[in-house]
Amino acid sequence: MPTTLRRAVIPAAGLGSRLLPLTRAIPKEMLPVGDRPVIEHTVRELIDSGITDITIVVSGDKSLIQDHFRPNPALVAQLRAAGKDAYADAVEDVADLSRRGHITYLFQHGPYGNGTPVLNAARDFGDEPFLVLWPDDVFVARVPRARQLITAHEKTGAPVLALMPMDPAESHRYGVPMVKEDLGEGALRITGLVEKPDPSVAPSHYAAIGGYVLTPGVVDELREQYRQFRANPVGELYLTDALNAYAARRAVYGQVIEGRWYDTGNPQAYLLAQFAHALAHPEYGPPLLDLARTRPGPGAGRAAGAERGTGAGRAAGAERAAGGE
């Protein structure tokens, strides 16, 4: 699929502290949703959207991510020798993602904050715009979320943020955009973001959900933040601050994403995403529904709640922009 964007960044150096102790030894990006780790969902989304160069920014204890995407010819040969060709094909298919998406890895350096991995990766991008997607979100949509963001950027040539409608009472959980103009078809001209405002002062009924097309001008604002941090090393380097500084002088847009959002960034959201994914599976869904309906114990009651949330869009957070970092 032709696109004016070819690069993407996946920040994957976080501690996963909200999922401890589960993430004590396993990177949160490697936790499964369905039959693949959550970061693989993100990588496939990017490749399906036409991205050909993916930089995954990691910390020193994230080698399992590289191991997952690395070719393993010995395992493939062993599986084929045992007549397990379907499993061998699945292993080769994952390894092929590294070639199709030209995955490279970069170790994070710099202050805390979600702007640091972006700034680390962008130093080699020159004047190219690029996508940023977090690796603990999974989108299910007819048109991939990344492709929707790319299309919005192609129309505007400006930075674009992924947005979804939210329950106004939930505004204290999200970055909420200040909307200047509704351009139709889900496109909004915005003048900045307010982080986690009280519902009484929230500037709109949309939530920023952690997907971006960034331009060199936003990277320049990040560089300026970093210069200020070097002079006075207090606080963190935030992408939101750079976007707000950029939006004060130039156009920034939001694109309301059509699709269903599965968040995996905290225990409850992760469990609900797992249930929602399994309930939608043709093989796993029916027995899960049977378990939820019979309710043999307290666990089944929670499963039933997940089923109800899925049907209403609550489990995935798709229709009300459920949390994420």
Closest alpha carbon to 208 in 252, 269, 164, 241: 164
Q: What is the b/e burial string over 205-233, where b = at least 16 CB atoms within 10 angstroms of the residue's CB?
A: bbbbbbbbbbbebbbebbeebbeebeeee
Q: Is the pLDDT higher at 319 or at 86?
A: 86
pLDDT of amino acid 19:
83
Q: Is the pLDDT of residue 302 over 80?
A: no
Span 212-264, pLDDT tens digits: 999 999 999 999 999 998 888 888 899 999 999 999 999 999 999 998 888 88
- Structure-block tokens of residue 98: 């590294």
Structure tokens at 90: 């699945």
Mean pLDDT for all residues in the chain: 86
- CA-nearest of 268, 54, 254 to 164 is 254
> Using one digit for the tens of pLDDT, what is the confidence trace for 100-149?
999 999 999 888 888 999 999 998 898 899 999 999 888 888 999 999 99
Is residue 54 a contact partner of residue 10, using CB atoms and an 8 Å limit?
A: yes
Instruction: Kindly give the residue spans of alpha helices, DSSP state H, lying in the chain.
Output: 38-48, 63-69, 73-81, 85-100, 115-122, 145-156, 216-231, 239-247, 267-279, 285-294, 298-312
pLDDT in tens, 28-72: 999 998 889 999 999 999 999 999 999 999 987 889 999 999 999
The model's confidence at residue 2, banded by pLDDT at 50, 70 and 90, is very low
- Whether the predicted pLDDT of 305 surpasses 60: no
The owner of tokens 């997607």 is 133
